[in-house]
Amino acid sequence: MKPRFDHGREPLNSVQAPTVLALETSTAACSVALLVGGTIYEDHRIVVREHNRLILVMIDSLIRKSGIDRRDLDAVAFGRGPGSFTGVRIAAGVAQGISLGIGIPVVPVSSLAVLAQTASATHSSAVNVLATLRSRAEEIYVGCYRYAAGELRLIAPESVVDAAMRDPPACVERDWWVVGDGVAHFGDTLATLGCSIDPKLLPTASALLVLATTALINGEGVDSADALPVYLQGTGPWRKLAD
C-alpha cells in the first residue's frame, strides 16, 4: 500500500534534486525558501507578529518566481520548534495544509538545528555551535552542534536552561560559536571561554532546506498528521510531546 502522501512519483534517491518548500517562523524572522532544480529562491523578512499575514503571500510569490506549479512540490519542510509558540504553530499549520492539499510528505526540523546550520553558513569558523533561543518564561532553549564533513550533528540533547543558571552547557568549550538571542543569558562566561558570539542571528529557511533535503532523501518525511511541533521540557508553556 502506498503512503498517503505519495502523489504518483517514484521514491526519491540521492541523485535526484527534490523540489522542496521550507517554512521557518519560530522567531522574529518570517522565512520561506524554495528549492527547484538545485536553485534556491528565498524570502527572509524580520517582522513582528506579521508571520500569519505574510507567509502565504511569500509562498505564492516564490512559486510564481520559480515557474513551478504547487503540484510539482516533492515535500514541504518547517521549523518544528522550539521557539515562539504562535510562530511555530503557524509554520506547522501551513505545512500540514499544503501536505494534505497536494499529497506530499512533511519534513519537521528542529529550529535550533536550523539556527546552527545558519551559523555554519554565515561564519566560516562556526564548526562547533551552541544555538540558543529565548522562551517566554526567560528560559533558554539550547542545542550543541558540530559541523563536520559537510554535515551538522547534534552532540548533546537539546534542552532548556533555567533562568537562574548562567553557565552554558558542559559541551561548550573554548573557541565555540554561540548564536541566537539567548547569548546574553550566559554573560561573561562566554568571554572567559573565548567564544565567538552572534546574538542577532536568526534561523533561515535556506538553512532549513539543507537539513530537510537530506532528511527527505533519507526517507524521513512524515504524513501531515505526524507533522507536529516538538516542545522542550521547561517551566513555561512548552512541553515535549509524548513519544
What CATH number corresponds to the domain at position 134? 3.30.420.40
Q: Are residues 116 and 187 in the same domain?
A: yes
As beta bridge partners, residue 44 has: 31
Per-residue pLDDT at 236: 46
Q: Are residues 26 and 82 in the same domain?
A: yes
Q: Are residues 26 and 96 in the same domain?
A: yes
Q: Are residues 135 and 178 in the same domain?
A: yes
Q: Are residues 118 and 181 in the same domain?
A: yes
Per-residue pLDDT at 15: 53
Q: Are residues 190 and 156 in the same domain?
A: yes
Cβ neighbours of residue 197 closer than 8 Å, sequence gap 6 or more: 177, 178, 179, 183, 190
Q: Are residues 92 and 173 in the same domain?
A: no
Number of domains in the chain: 2
- Grid coordinates 551552541 are at which residue? 130
User: Do residues 73 and 104 lie in contact, with contact meaning Cβ atoms separated by under 8 Å?
Assistant: yes
14 belongs to a structural domain: no
Q: Are residues 141 and 190 in the same domain?
A: yes
Per-residue pLDDT at 235: 45
Q: Are residues 214 and 135 in the same domain?
A: no
Per-residue pLDDT at 243: 34
Q: Are residues 123 and 176 in the same domain?
A: yes
Residue-number span of the structural domain to which 153 is assigned:
112-198
Per-residue pLDDT at 8: 43
Grid coordinates representing 228 are: 507536529
For residue 171, pLDDT beyond 50: yes
For residue 36, pLDDT beyond 80: yes
12 belongs to a structural domain: no
Q: Are residues 128 and 92 in the same domain?
A: no
Name the pLDDT band for 144 (thresholds 50, 70, 90). Answer: very high
Per-residue pLDDT at 233: 57
The beta-carbon contacts of 94-97 under 8 Å, at least 24 apart in sequence, are 94/23, 94/55, 94/56, 94/59, 95/23, 95/224, 95/227, 96/224, 96/227
Name the pLDDT band for 52 (thresholds 50, 70, 90). Answer: very high
221 belongs to a structural domain: yes
Per-residue pLDDT at 241: 39
Q: Are residues 212 and 190 in the same domain?
A: no
239 belongs to a structural domain: no
241 belongs to a structural domain: no
User: Do residues 3 and 176 lie in contact, with contact meaning Cβ atoms separated by under 8 Å?
Assistant: no
For residue 165, pLDDT beyond 90: no
Give 213 or 8, the one with higher predicted confidence: 213
What average pLDDT does range 197-219 have in this prediction? 96
**Cα distance between residue 105 and residue 219, in whole Å:** 10
Cβ neighbours of residue 53 closer than 8 Å, sequence gap 6 or more: none
96 belongs to a structural domain: yes
**Cα distance between residue 193 and residue 24, in whole Å:** 31
Grid coordinates representing 113 are: 538545528
72 belongs to a structural domain: yes
User: Do residues 43 and 31 lie in contact, with contact meaning Cβ atoms separated by under 8 Å?
Assistant: yes
Does the pTM exceed 0.85?
Answer: yes
Mean model confidence pLDDT for the chain:
89
| Cβ count near 105 (within 10 Å) | 27
52 belongs to a structural domain: yes
What average pLDDT does range 222-238 have in this prediction? 73
Per-residue pLDDT at 230: 77
